[in-house]
Amino acid sequence: MAKAINYEQNQLGDLMRLIDDSRIDLDINSVEHMFKPIFLVHKNALFIGRDQGAKAKTIHVTIIETCKLNKVNPERYQK
């Protein structure tokens, strides 16, 4: 019970911020959805057999997803 009370007390400032600022969205599904392809590619690339390939593919997908998020054409980064 003490752990639960201490946790609640430590989170009280964030909870009050949510209550005071109506612009904060409580739903994080859009953020999770945005990063899901990155995590899946990284996980799947691990089975290639080389860590370097997994890292390179993860970086590549991260750049593409970041470009999409910021409405930038990812083809600019091809060269």
Q: Using one digit for the tens of pLDDT, what is the confidence trace for 2-53?
A: 988 888 888 888 888 888 887 877 776 777 777 777 677 666 666 666 677 7
What pLDDT was estimated at residue 59? 81
Q: Please tell me the predicted confidence (pLDDT) of residue 43.
A: 66
Q: What is the pLDDT of residue 11?
A: 87
Tokens 């003490």 belong to which residue?
A: 2
Check: CB of residue 54 under 8 Å from CB of residue 42: yes
Kindly tell me the number of DSSP H helices and DSSP E strands found in the chain: 3, 0
Structural domain of residue 20, as residue ranges? 2-77
pLDDT on residue 32: 74
Tell me: pLDDT of 79 over 60: no
Structurally, the chain folds into a number of domains equal to 1
